Amino acid sequence: MSILINKDTKVVVQGITGRQGSFHAERMIEYGTQVVAGVRPGKGGEWVLDGKVPVFDSVKIAKETTGANTSLVMVPARFAPDAMLEAADAGIPLIICLTEHIPVQDMMRVRSYLDQKGVRLVGPNCPGVQTPGECNIGIIPGDIAIPGNVGVVSRSGTLTYEVLYALKNVGIGASTCVGIGGDPINGTNFIDVLQMFQDDPGTDKVVLIGEIGGTDEEKAAQYIADNMNKPVFAFIAGKTAPPGKRMGHAGAIVEGGAGTAEDKIKALQAAGVQVADHPEQIAELIKG
């Protein structure tokens, strides 16, 4: 089985007429993902990707016409908050937002509204979600993972790819991979995904990929200790990062004596998690 997405997921791409939107929508279709619609105001009635996908003026019309149940947001940062709100108002239950550089204040407003609507948001500033062999929504390369029983949740896009590929190279597959993004305000956190993996009969083991900044990994460690009976493996990036210096992601900064890699590793190990020294070692630990 899987979490969040599967072969029956129907995707509407907001921003499909843009260069990035069209490129990645094409890759998703090649993977087998059901991209049933695109949205671009003023472009309704057109078809894109060699006539494969119809374009609509609004998410509401796209959903009513095609039955889309998931939105992929690939629009510039200044338009992304309204795009997510539009998808929520249209009744889309799952929104995956790849857009980066969305102001924190805007995301606070969006997150509050989506919570009121009962809408699940993955992202922003994330690589997306992939259920290998069934559905790929976002920019996770389609050829780096094989179907299996290991659930993967990560704050880092590139480390996600590295771990998935390392697993594939030793014959280990993934049930679902969820890139939650590294922004300070996001829609889905480690605990949300860990709970889904714990409840998923198709997931037997879990990989958590974290990084410096914030206390999400420490909270996840406590959740693992209290609620999970499936083995969890982890890697924490940023062990050599200097305190007070922002490293990559908007949330990857150590402040006020909290959020160091050392603290996160200690918390995870105390919860019984096997923590790798480098990303590729996760495959070795799982294989035993």
Q: Which residue ranges form the domains of the chain, and what is each CATH number?
A: 10-122 (3.40.50.720), 144-287 (3.40.50.261)
Task: Output the six-digit token pair for 17.
Answer: 């007429």
Query: What is the identity of the amino acid at 59?
Result: V
Q: Where are the alpha helices (DSSP H) in the chain?
A: 19-31, 59-66, 80-89, 104-117, 157-169, 190-199, 216-227, 261-270, 281-287
Confidence of residue 189 (pLDDT cuts 50, 70, 90): very high
Confidence check: pLDDT of 254 > 60 = no
Residues designated catalytic = 249
CA distance 211 to 235: 8
Identity of the amino acid at 134: E
Q: 98-117: per-residue pLDDT in tens?
A: 999 999 999 999 999 999 99
Least confident of 95-104, 158-167, 182-191, 239-248: 239-248
- Average pLDDT along the chain: 94
Q: Look up residue 255 and give its DSSP letter.
A: B
CA–centroid distance for 16 within its chain:
19
Read off the pLDDT band of 246 (50, 70, 90): low
**Does the pLDDT of residue 247 top 90, yes or no?**
no
Residue 193 is encoded by which pair of tokens? Answer: 């995904």
Using DSSP's 3-state secondary structure scheme, residue 265 falls into helix
Distance, in Å, from the CA atom of 126 to the CA atom of 213, rounded to the nearest integer, reads 16
The position carrying tokens 């989506």 is: 114
**pLDDT surpassing 80 at residue 242:** no
Q: What is the DSSP string of 205-229?
A: EEEEEEESSSSHHHHHHHHHHHH--
Sequence-ordered list of residues with C-beta below 8 angstroms from that of 108, at least 6 positions apart, any chain:
185
Q: What mean pLDDT comes out for the span 49-68?
A: 98
8 A C-beta contact, residue 5 and residue 176: yes
Predicted pLDDT of residue 244: 58
**In the chain, % of residues over pLDDT 90:** 89
Q: For 198-231, b where at least 16 C-beta lie within 10 A, e where not — what string?
A: bebeebebbbbbbbbbbebbbebbebbeeebebb
256 pLDDT higher than 90: no
Question: Would you say residue 33 has pLDDT above 70?
Answer: yes
pTM > 0.85: yes or no: yes
Cβ partners under 8 Å of residue 271, min gap 6: 221, 222, 224, 225, 232
Beta bridge partners of 39: 14, 56
Q: Choose among 275, 103, 249, 129: nearest CA to 188.
A: 129
Residue 144 has pLDDT above 60, yes or no: yes
Pairing of strands 70-73, 174-179: unpaired
pLDDT at position 243 is 62
Which pLDDT belongs to residue 1? 77
